[in-house]
Structure 1
Amino acid sequence: MPFDVRRFDIYRKVPKDLTQPTYTGAFISILCCVFILFLFLSELTGFIATEIVNELYVDDPDKDSGGKIEVSLNISLPNLHCDLVGLDIQDEMGRHEVGHIDNSMKVPLNQGDGCRFEGEFTINKVPGNFHVSTHSATAQPQNPDMTHTIHKLAFGEKLQVQKVQGAFNALGGANRLSSNPLASHDYILKIVPTVYEDLSGKQRFSYQYTVANKEYVAYSHTGRIIPAIWFRYDLSPITVKYTERRQPFYRFITTICAIVGGTFTVAGIIDSCIFTASEAWKKIQIGKMS
């Protein structure tokens, strides 16, 4: 007898004339197909969409930066003339720069009585401070008014990702216009390195920060100290990393197979139970009639 490979067929076919269609079976089949379609579309949406996974680790993520951090500052002082406004930078590596002017701009406000300072500069990755003051002015005013509004203070690359909600511009919108005009303002910043890696593996480096602040009128043995707006910063050793990920294709296929197979199996069991109960009820009714 020749070998017949059909004996390995585990999906034996039943002749169509030996099957019995029912209304209940048709209803369950339609519901089954609708349910499978709904789950398939849900899984497809999840497969196409990306998810953001975050992790924490101790390291300097941007080793190619040369130990520098880019800073972007935009601040308005509505009651201080632009000739008096300057930016000073200090840190623990010995940097002491008074009246930083590179990549900066001063825009007069209130018919020249006020000033908006915009600047981009770099700081070293060591504790330090930068402050807006009148220290670089040729002549110091008697009563400098340090009331202000901070429009932007950001570190590193601009990172705008819809799914990442971070404190990249925590001081944006800070309003100190009702403060004591002669008061100094201290903003204590804790800068947290942040990395964002997209699906292609490209990384962008930015920095989030937390902030605490206080205002005070400072005095020394010679009298009142000229007020300033201080931004004192320190770097956190912890790095936050956000990574874009997409569900693997094999997992998507496995889930779809599980949905289809599981739905048809459960639907078949339900249909079989209903059909068996229906046939038993018919036999009981026939027995009563006889």
Structure 2
Amino acid sequence: MLSRILKKAIVFDAFPKVDADCQHRSPQGGLVTIIVSICLWFLIVSEFSEYWYLNQKYEFVVDQNINHKLQINVDITVNTPCDYLTVDVIDAAGEGLHMTHELRKISTTFEVRSAHLLGDDDDDDSRLNVKQVVMAANSNTDSFSPNNDVTENTQTACRIFGNLDVNKVTGNLHITALGHGYGFYNTAVELLNFTHRIDEFSFGTHYPRLVNPLDNSVEIAEAHKEAFLYFLSIVPTTYIDNNNHVLLTNQYSVTDYSRVIEGRTGVPGIFFKYDIEPISVRIAENGVSFFTFLVRLSGLVGGIWVTAGFALKIVNRIWSSLQKYL
């Protein structure tokens, strides 16, 4: 029964076979086969690379987040004793916030460690793809690790760290000395030293493993009365990987400026002036499914072989016609 069905199915064979005795191999056919095989190899590798390495799509949209608060994550060590430092925020809404007691202050010894001058190092997350950023954000890492801080009163530096909730408007977070901008106690100029190392400065939910432009940077003061100014432009950013894992965070760009204060022409300290952009960035991974990859690969291989076969037949016929007239 099965053999009868198979015999009747022969008439539907779309892949007729040619006997080996009827086949003719030519040097031209061998050369075309080699060329097509090499081209196919490179095209297959290219298709596989496109399937394996996902593309990133960038979209710029108006920020529709209606949150009224913005979290600032700070971890900075200043080469001035803690008793003389104060942290304050003034925003565009006219609200002034005294944040010294919202952050932790620990006496320590100032060390440069592996920090670099701003702009001298490219160790940030701009080179990471979406999946790496999402994985780094979701990794379990303790926030604001102790970093071997000491609490002896004889230490001359102060580590200031923690999270601040401020209004989501343009603002100025600054670290100054008592009596130099705020406070009734006038700190002696000889005690001022705003040399500082920034281990963390970010906006939004704190992800310790994500590296920001100011992270691991250091500035050395040239005088007792010196002002360090950082101008930050914050861009709300959404990362979406190929598995639809969403990460909401904030990127920022920074420019810095410092100047020595002469007389009473300014206030010495460290100033972070931030502005929030109305445009948000959406970065999503674009990839194809394995089924789509197989369909494209099959079409590529089959199409090139068929096209090469037709081209070879046309060339052979033209060559045969020319030989008749030669």
Which runs of no fewer than 5 residues in structure 2 stay unpaired?
Answer: 1-7, 111-153
Where 1:60 maps in the other structure, the secondary structure is coil
Which runs of no fewer than 5 residues in structure 1 stay unpaired?
Answer: 162-167
- For 1:29, the aligned partner's letter is T
Where 1:170 maps in the other structure, the secondary structure is coil
Which residue is equivalent to 1:182?
225
Which residue is equivalent to 2:257?
214
Where 1:45 maps in the other structure, the secondary structure is helix
Work out whether residues 82 and 105 of structure 2, in 8 Å CA contact, stay in contact via their aligned partners in 1: no
- Give deviations 1:156-203, integer Å, cap 9, x for gaps: 243978xxxxxx622335443144330223322221111111223232
Equivalent of 2:169 in 112, 126, 130: 126
Deviation at 1:237, TM superposition (A): 0.3
- Give deviations 1:7-32, integer Å, cap 9, x for gaps: 66665443443222345534543553
CA separation of 1:108/1:224 partners in 2, compared to 1, >3 Å: closer, same or farther? Answer: farther
CA separation of 1:22/1:91 partners in 2, compared to 1, >3 Å: closer, same or farther? Answer: same
- TM score, norm. by length of structure 1: 0.75
Which residue is equivalent to 2:102?
102
Structure 2 counterparts to residues 109-258 of structure 1, below 5 A: 109-110=109-110, 112-135=155-178, 139-143=185-189, 144-157=192-205, 158=207, 169-216=212-259, 223=264, 226-248=267-289, 251-258=292-299
Which residue is equivalent to 2:71?
70
Where 2:88 maps in the other structure, the secondary structure is strand
Deviation at 1:5, TM superposition (A): 7.8
Measure, in 1, the Cα distance between the counterparts of 2:290 and 2:257.
53
Work out whether residues 225 and 261 of structure 2, in 8 Å CA contact, stay in contact via their aligned partners in 1: no
Which residue is equivalent to 2:120?
none
- TM score, norm. by length of structure 2: 0.68
Which residue is equivalent to 2:18?
14
CA separation of 1:52/1:205 partners in 2, compared to 1, >3 Å: closer, same or farther? Answer: same
CA separation of 1:198/1:160 partners in 2, compared to 1, >3 Å: closer, same or farther? Answer: farther
Measure, in 2, the Cα distance between the counterparts of 1:219 and 1:278.
90
Q: Percent identity?
A: 24
Deviation at 1:44, TM superposition (A): 2.1
Measure, in 2, the Cα distance between the counterparts of 1:44 and 1:249.
10
Number of aligned residue pairs: 270
Deviation at 1:118, TM superposition (A): 2.4
Which of the two has higher C-alpha Rg? Answer: 1
Deviation at 1:260, TM superposition (A): 1.4
Work out whether residues 198 and 243 of structure 1, in 8 Å CA contact, stay in contact via their aligned partners in 2: yes
Measure, in 2, the Cα distance between the counterparts of 1:249 and 1:20.
39
